[in-house]
Amino acid sequence: MTTTQQHYSPFDCLVVAEQTPAGLLQKESQEVEVLLVLEIELRASDEPLVPLNEKHHVDVAKSNLPWKDRTPQLMMQLTTHRTVFWSETASKQRQGRYLHHSQLLQLNTESAGGLFQKSPKLILQTAAMGELCLVFGAAKKRDECFSAYQKVVSRRGWETPTLNTIQTAPRRRVGLDALLTSDTRRHEHAAQLAETAFQGDAELLLKEAQGLVQIIQHYVATLERQHEFSNAQDKETQQLVGMLQHMGMTSALTPNDTQLARELTDFVRPHLTAQHPVMTLTDVYCLYNRARATHLLSPDDFRAAAEQCHSLQLGISVATLPSGLVVLQNDQYADPVHLQERLTQLLHDHALASLTALDVSRYWRISAVLAMEQLKLVERSGSWVRDETLESLRFYPNRYFCA
């Protein structure tokens, strides 16, 4: 509880969720995220509920504060096991609290509109907390959440792990002739299709689309000149910004996905150790996408997420070296003095007088490009010097160097 908190609300009465070091939900076994709602309000009945602390006991300090029956501006994460609500402070510190789905008794919707312009809602009947109400900004989002809840509750994933048997389609044996014929037919069809589609559909589409796109681009250019895009406050401009992002027309629009930045940090931090605190962004991208296996990230999204890590104070940051190479580094060990000490230690460990980029690459198991950059970095500080020969480029500790 912060010293400035003047009341407690339904959010304070939920169970505190465990977080990863990057501030993401620490998931239970077999737990999978189903839906994310960025802005939601949580309401409870008028009767005050019991606030809980991190140890799941009654929070006596909070219970002495006045009760407020609603908590606005929460982010909701629906998983197969729980509904997790996230609250973020001004200093980007997150707290998550959850309602386990085993507590759900009933789920209903409440329509929007009417004489008093009510917002669309989902009503949850729970065993421990009575009636809770989720208030959405749009009916579409409420309906999406409702159908997600129905699926999650019907599967009851928190009770027993489900085993998915992968059914493979039986392989048809076909003769070589049939294979060759079908291959030829496929190529002919594709060639024909490419021609007709782009003589028919594509030309027509281009003709119709170009006019529309010109109007959009004219408007975007006007707003950019007026610097309104980056400061977009009103709902319609935000809607237009969202639509343009959605269609890939993202000239000056930057996505703001802190969730992705945190996931990336959780993944890459174990790889950025004291011995290897730096990796090229390309290498991290390959590792991360390999780990995801499906729904891979685009390089644009990945770079945008990586660049947010520093502002979110997650302990890693993107750095651009003088050659233009972009790396991801662990802030704790990014100090050049630390690098000098590691290189000197490498010399001693392997009884070497000098190092090449290939030596560093081999012993530290990093890419040769990154190894060369690290050697050039210490050379720039003056603590190491180079010797260029036909055979290779070697780096030696500078015995005349005084720090």
Which residues contact another protein by CB under 8 A?
183, 186, 190-191, 193-194, 197-198, 201-202, 205-206, 208-210, 212-213, 215-217, 219-220, 236-237, 239-240, 243-251, 255, 280-283, 285-286, 289-290, 294-303, 320, 323-326, 358, 367-369, 388, 390, 392-393
Contact residues for 108 (Cβ-Cβ < 8 A; gap 6+): 122, 123, 125
Nearer to another protein, 207 or 399 (CB): 207
Minimal distance in Å, beta carbon 300 to another protein?
5
Nearer to another protein, 13 or 261 (CB): 261
Nearer to another protein, 50 or 326 (CB): 326
Nearer to another protein, 21 or 299 (CB): 299
Tokens of 121: 């809602």
At residue 191, what is the residue type? Answer: A
Nearer to another protein, 1 or 178 (CB): 178
> In degrees rounded to 5, what are phi and psi of residue 226?
-85, 5
Minimal distance in Å, beta carbon 323 to another protein?
5
Nearest to 287 by CA among 301, 266, 268, 307: 268
Residue where the block lists tokens 């605190």? 277
Minimal distance in Å, beta carbon 265 to another protein?
17
Helices marked H in 95-200? 139-155, 176-199
User: CA-based diameter of the chain, in Å?
Assistant: 85
Minimal distance in Å, beta carbon 44 to another protein?
33
CB 19 within 8 A of CB 25: yes
Minimal distance in Å, beta carbon 36 to another protein?
11
Bridge partners of 134? 42, 122
Nearer to another protein, 128 or 358 (CB): 358
Nearer to another protein, 60 or 390 (CB): 390
Minimal distance in Å, beta carbon 278 to another protein?
13
Cα(311)–Cα(292) distance, integer angstroms:
24
Residue where the block lists tokens 């996230």? 86
CB 94 within 8 A of CB 16: no
Element (H, E) at 42: strand 33-44
Contact residues for 43 (Cβ-Cβ < 8 A; gap 6+): 10, 69, 70, 71, 132, 133, 134, 135
Cα(275)–Cα(370) distance, integer angstroms:
14
Minimal distance in Å, beta carbon 52 to another protein?
35
Nearest to 267 by CA among 302, 224, 227: 302
Minimal distance in Å, beta carbon 270 to another protein?
20
Nearer to another protein, 127 or 368 (CB): 368
